[in-house]
Amino acid sequence: MTQSASRGRFVASILLTALLAGAAIMLAGGGIASGSPSSAQYEYGHPAPTAPPTISGTAQVGQTLTTTNGAWSSSSNVSLFAYSWGRCDANGASCVAIGGASSNTYTLVDADKGHTIRSYVTATNSAGSTQSVSDPTAVVAAPAVPTGKQIAAANVTLPNRLVVDRVSYSANPIRARHTPTTMKIHVADSHANSVSGALVYAIGVPYNRIANMAEVTTDATGWATLQLQPTRQFPRTGYLVLFVRARVQGQDLLGGTSTRRLVQVTIGAPNGS
């Protein structure tokens, strides 16, 4: 064998090794191109990218991202675009294909929180296909917390808490001694959502000035209604102090998301009612 022939076989062996390694990389990536954020692997005659796809939308669980097709040379004659999405680490690396994500939009789910997302656009013409890769999004944030709405007590979990934020009385000062005064207590959460189904309890301090009241449940708008019935120990004037507690059914009375508060109402001279 001549030295020239030996050198030719050596070069061919190197080329074959490189091609096999490249094929292994593409298979390991599950169809997602490797390389820099805007890289695209293509062959002569296939669609030629001139700019990578871009992603619009808010990087937050529950929000929808949309990808462009990117830009391609006028000679590419693209006949079809296909889409896929990758979930990457916080730096936009180590991307893994997201199963079932095959349109130009993608709605972020809980599994995306703490990750970045890339879009992958594959352009096809009569000669073949080329895949182009977007830059990564910002790190995906947790879903937005609702505020100013109505929620069920069962959905209030730590670190969210119940809050007794409003109290009203049918009479203030209270002058009646024989008929009850209506007391309404509003329960919200830490985000100002009205809470339905919360259990509310109130007792006078000292307890013997009004009759004991059963625990009641807040309605769909977050209000609980109680009746304050004076006893013989009800004073002529001054203030009535009440201990108020709101809790979620099944949770610890002193722990969980429960809340406690002292409120007061003015006592006026009796009016005979």
Give residue 255's pLDDT: 83
Handedness of CA 240, 246, 251, 256 (dihedral sign): negative
Strand order in the sheet with 199-205: 216-217, 199-205, 238-247, 259-267
Give residue 42's pLDDT: 61
- Delimit the CATH 2.60.40.10 region(s) of the chain: 150-267
Half-sphere exposure of 137 (CA within 13 A, CB side): 30
What is the spatial distance between Cα 191 and Cα 155, in angstroms, rounded to a whole number?
12
DSSP letter at 209 equals G
How many residues are listed for the chain in this entry? 273
- Delimit the CATH 2.60.40.2700 region(s) of the chain: 31-133
Q: Are 57 and 138 in contact (CB under 8 A)?
A: no
DSSP letter at 154 equals G
Long-range contacts of 209-213 (CB under 8 A, 24+ apart): 209/233, 209/234, 209/235, 209/240, 210/234, 210/240
For domain 150-267, give the CATH number: 2.60.40.10
Give residue 163's pLDDT: 98
* pLDDT tens for the chain, residues 1 to 273: 554 444 445 444 433 333 333 333 232 333 454 433 444 556 778 999 999 999 999 999 999 999 999 999 989 999 999 999 999 999 999 999 999 999 999 999 999 999 999 999 999 999 999 999 999 999 999 988 888 999 999 999 999 999 999 999 999 999 999 999 999 999 999 999 999 999 999 999 998 999 999 999 999 999 999 999 999 999 999 999 999 999 999 998 888 999 999 999 999 999 999
CATH among 3.30.428.10, 1.10.3720.10, 3.40.190.10, 2.60.40.2700 for 31-133: 2.60.40.2700
Kindly report the number of other CB atoms within 10 A of residue 90's CB atom: 13
Q: Are 64 and 55 in contact (CB under 8 A)?
A: no
What is the spatial distance between Cα 4 and Cα 16, in angstroms, rounded to a whole number?
19
